[in-house]
Amino acid sequence: MPDANTDRVSAAEMVRHFSSIRKRAAQAPVYITHHGRDTHVLCPAHHFHALHDLGGQAEQSILPLDALQLSAWIDQGMILFDQDGMVTHANGALLAMMPHDPNGMIGTPLFTALPELSGSLAEPYVRRAMRHAELALFDMRSPFLPDRWLQCRIAPVGRQIVLLIRDVTRDMDALRQGEQQDELMRAIEASGQVGYVRLTARGYVQSVNDAFAALIGMAERQMIDMHFCRLTEPNARIALSDELEIVLGQGKDRAVRARLLHGEGRLLDVQMGMTCIRSAYGHDGAAVIVSPAVHVQQPTGFTDNMNGHNLRIA
């Protein structure tokens, strides 16, 4: 950019002193003004040709240099290719998603560099983007690695096309797990005989299903924010608390036999299964399945050798 120190001459001076001004332009560009405004720049021919070549490279590049450098730091795979499918750039994040060297892709047709894309879900989207500059966003099973899922985004940018690839295997696993949990909960609700309790990470009741509320004769609103151990008989609460600590603190599954307090004041023998609810950031609480205990010929209360509480570890 020109500044106060830039060499400037008027058009009239240019005509009168061209020879000397030409020599000055060989050292640094000379701005020619007309009525005080910059209108032309005088520079050597080789400088002009160099600028012209640089401008052609910039025109063919899809992104400025700093954006291409940024692509080396993002966790998404990025491939740039032209309308003929020739790869012009590929970043290092692709190494985690496919057994191909990104540097080896450059200058190679996309379907030659990545033959696994041929016949995959991505192929028609890529070809439509090459022909008609169509946008696309889709998930597909990875054609490169088994048991992996990829999310692909295709978009025309300038005269080229960008393909962004993100590994979404964890998201898909979480989705499938959520669907399985929904199916399990529907089966539990359909039975009408199995109680379900969701506990917070500190063991407080977060929610219960209708079957559990009916089992112990209490409304859900009476149990919300109550510590789960308070629902069992008083002399077994410490033992149940220890079991909950194993579930919530160590992430281990536990099966226990206990007696819960019924809303009418009587004790109810139940069998419980407890498991830790895990999230991406650690333990997020516990799930408890409760059903009436099957009575067999045994003493009413099982005496634990450790503490004498009426709580049985199944």
Query: What's the Cα-to-Cα distance from 213 to each of 228, 231, 232, rounded to whole Å?
Result: 13, 12, 14
Mean pLDDT score of the chain, rounded to an integer? 83
CA distance 73 to 90: 12
DSSP 8-state symbol, 304: P
Model pLDDT, residue 63: 57
Nearest to 217 by CA among 260, 271, 275: 260
**What residues are paired with 80 via a beta bridge?**
89, 162
Model pLDDT, residue 302: 45
| Stronger pLDDT, 17 or 306, i.e. the higher one | 17
**What residues are paired with 303 via a beta bridge?**
310
- Beta-carbon contacts of residue 286 (< 8 Å; ≥ 6 apart): 198, 199, 203, 244, 247, 248, 274, 275, 276, 277
Residues 260-281 pLDDT 10s: 999 888 999 999 999 998 876 6
DSSP H or E stretch at residue 30: strand 30-34
Average pLDDT over residues 82-101: 91
Q: Give the residue ranges of DSSP H helices in 150-265.
A: 169-191, 210-216, 220-223, 237-250
Name the band, by pLDDT with cuts 50, 70 and 90, for residue 308. Answer: very low
DSSP 8-state symbol, 143: S
Model pLDDT, residue 305: 40
Nearest to 253 by CA among 244, 264, 241, 266: 244
Residues 41-78 pLDDT 10s: 888 776 776 666 555 544 444 455 556 667 778 889 99
Average pLDDT over residues 182-195: 78
8: tokens are 């400037």
